[in-house]
Amino acid sequence: METAPDLQSISAEAALSPMLPRPFVIKRVRRETEDTFTLELEPTGRDDGFSFTPGQFNMVYVFGVGEIPISISGDPARPTTLIHTTRAVGTVTKAMDKLRRGDTLGIRGPYGSPWPLDKAVGRDVVFVAGGIGLAPLRPALYHVVSNRERFGKVVLLYGTRSPADILFREELETWRARFDLDVYVTVDRAMSGWRGNVGVVTTMIPKAPFDPRNAVAMVCGPEIMMRFTAAEMIKRGVDIRDVSVSLERNMKCGIGLCGHCQFGPVFVCKDGPVFPYAQVRDMLVKWEI
């Protein structure tokens, strides 16, 4: 018979060991699309919230099933609630999808490198997201929107598979309505009633309203999409050193101990997941790595 985890003792030990998860309770579940959902979580027993930097991830443990890396998708200025947006693709994510309000998850983190928002101050910022890749970029968008006066033009280019797969629709509408943000959404395929754009996200780069000589690009999505996007950015005139990507590799420890996430000479969990494109470009085209 399964026994429920002793949350109090786990919580106390978690403070001591980086390998022990802290229990968080689900306060709200929001369905984003058919296969993607957002969980709002709060730590049990303590109310010290959860501070993080945009781009960072947590190791999320579904008790008895497994532990996986998931980026934080909430607002860094509101650390009281921890937010994760996840696409159900396999064993752990599908088990996560079945959890409901009041259920508990184990959290280790936050881990990993942030989006280079400091470098973007005073410059144009271009976010390029593909599919679920909008979730890891959302904290950086929140930050830029809350500190709007510190940045030049702010552009979001977002591509998904179909209109039904668009994440955070209401927020996208709100951002699109602002005069100081340029939000463009495109889908790979659509039926005739769709009134938006159809075409891959990279086709929006040549016309997007930013100054390539003074722009910083943050790109998150499937690896192939990021490669094509980075190439298009560089072609437009953006310095390769100003393009960042967020990589995904299978992880176990999340803290640079086990080597599971090794990618050439780097560990994605510790040195990434956000990397300057210049650092990883050559490795991304070698499928043997």
Partner 1 sequence: MENLEHILGEHPFFQGLKHEHLHLLVGCASNVRFDAGQYILREGAEANTFYLVRFGKVALEMGTPNKGPMIIETIGEGDLLGWSWLVPPYTWHFDARAMELTRAISIDGKCLRRKIDNDHELGYEFLRRFSDLMVKRFDATRLQLMDVYGNRA
| Residues near ligand FAD (CB under 6 A) | 57, 66, 68-71, 85-87, 89-93, 132, 135-136, 248-249, 251, 273
In the complex with ligand FAD, the residue whose CB is nearer, 65 or 181, is 65
Q: Report in angstroms how near the CB of residue 199 gets to ligand FES at its nearest.
A: 36
Binding-site member from 48, 100, 170, 207 for partner 1 (CB under 8 A): 207
**Of ligand FES, partner 1, ligand FAD, none, which one sits near residue 253, judging by CB under 5 to 8 A according to partner kind?**
ligand FES
Residue 69: both structure tokens together: 């890396």
The nearest distance, CB 288 to ligand FAD, in angstroms, is 18
Query: Should residue 254 be labelled a site residue for ligand FES when binding is judged by CB under 6 A?
Result: yes
Among candidate residues 289, 240, 248, the one with its CA nearest the CA of residue 272 = 248
Beta bridge partners of 105: 24
259 is a contact residue toward ligand FES (CB under 6 A): yes
Residue (of 156, 164, 166, 162) closest to 132 by Cα position: 166
Closest CA to 38 of 126, 162, 130, 134: 134
* Per-residue DSSP letter, 204: G
Separation of alpha carbons 133 and 246, rounded Å: 9
The stretch among 23-31, 48-56, 187-195, 250-258 that binds partner 1 (CB under 8 A) is 187-195
Q: How far apart are CA 125 and CA 44, in angstroms?
A: 37
How many residues in the chain? 289
Task: Give the strand pairing for 124-130 and 154-160.
Answer: parallel
Assess 93 for contact with partner 1 (CB under 8 A): no
Interface with partner 1 by CB under 8 A: which residues? Answer: 89, 130-131, 159-161, 165, 186, 188-192, 194-200, 202-203, 207, 221-222, 224-225, 228
